[in-house]
């Protein structure tokens, strides 16, 4: 009797182990509703393709942004071209750039151009805001986006666009 019980336990253990192994290695059985699908050990072709960006969407490296030389700024040094919020100008500090009230109701003062970036100030109703933006960087204020697209010596090229 003892031998028969031991044989039954061993047979049951072997059957359970075989069932667990078959499930663990994957089987043709359907998963229960709501159960996660079995994991695949190798990536599918669509997953591999999705990780490679298409060549036509390549952009310049953030560490080496494309720059605009001061003499190539679209609007030269005419800061009056910025009133409507759309311009690209070369500026040296100090410079005060005014905008139409619907764009930015206070002037933007360029107070410094250095190797660290362009320091700009806005004196608005809630107080004075000072921000230093590096080459390739930018920020938004009111309806305006500001980008530093070029720097050479003490001159910066700023691109203003509407948000």
What is the full per-residue pLDDT of the chain (163 aa) written as tens digits?
544 444 444 344 444 344 444 444 444 445 555 555 555 454 444 444 444 433 333 334 455 556 899 999 999 999 999 999 999 999 999 999 999 999 999 999 999 999 999 999 998 888 999 999 999 999 999 899 999 999 999 999 999 999 9
Residues of the domain holding 151 = 70-162
Q: Are 26 and 42 in contact (CB under 8 A)?
A: no
Provide the domain count of the chain.
1
pLDDT of residue 11: 43
Name the helix (H) or strand (E) containing 157.
Answer: strand 155-162
Is 35 within the bounds of a domain?
Answer: no
How do 155-162 and 95-97 pair as beta strands?
unpaired
- For residue 8, CA distances in Å to 2, 5, 13 come to 10, 5, 8
Is residue 96 classed as helix, strand or coil in its secondary structure? strand
Is 44 within the bounds of a domain?
Answer: no
pTM for the structure as a whole: 0.60
The count of C-alpha atoms lying within 13 angstroms of the C-alpha of 27, restricted to the half-sphere facing its C-beta, is 11
pLDDT of residue 34: 58
Measured distance CA(37)–CA(29) in Å, rounded: 11
pLDDT of residue 67: 87
Is 154 within the bounds of a domain?
Answer: yes
Measured distance CA(148)–CA(155) in Å, rounded: 11
Which residue from 135, 157, 67, 143 is spatially nearest to 105, judged by alpha carbons?
143
Measured distance CA(136)–CA(79) in Å, rounded: 20
Is 106 within the bounds of a domain?
Answer: yes
Is 12 within the bounds of a domain?
Answer: no
Is 40 within the bounds of a domain?
Answer: no
């Amino acid at each position: 009797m003892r031998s028969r019980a031991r044989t039954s336990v061993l047979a049951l253990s072997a059957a359970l182990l075989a069932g667990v192994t078959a499930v663990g290695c994957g089987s043709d059985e359907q998963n229960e509703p709501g159960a996660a699908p079995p994991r695949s050990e190798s990536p599918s072709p669509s997953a591999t393709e999705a990780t490679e960006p298409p060549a036509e969407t390549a952009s310049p490296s953030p560490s080496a942004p494309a720059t605009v030389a001061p003499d190539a700024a679209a609007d030269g040094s005419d800061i009056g071209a910025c009133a409507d919020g759309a311009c690209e100008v070369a500026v040296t500090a100090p410079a005060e750039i005014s905008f139409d009230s619907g764009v930015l109701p206070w002037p933007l003062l360029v107070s410094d151009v250095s190797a660290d970036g362009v320091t700009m100030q806005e004196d608005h109703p809630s107080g004075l805001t000072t921000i230093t933006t590096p080459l390739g960087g930018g920020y938004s204020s009111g309806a305006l986006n500001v980008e530093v697209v070029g720097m050479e010596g003490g001159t910066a090229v700023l691109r203003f666009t509407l948000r």
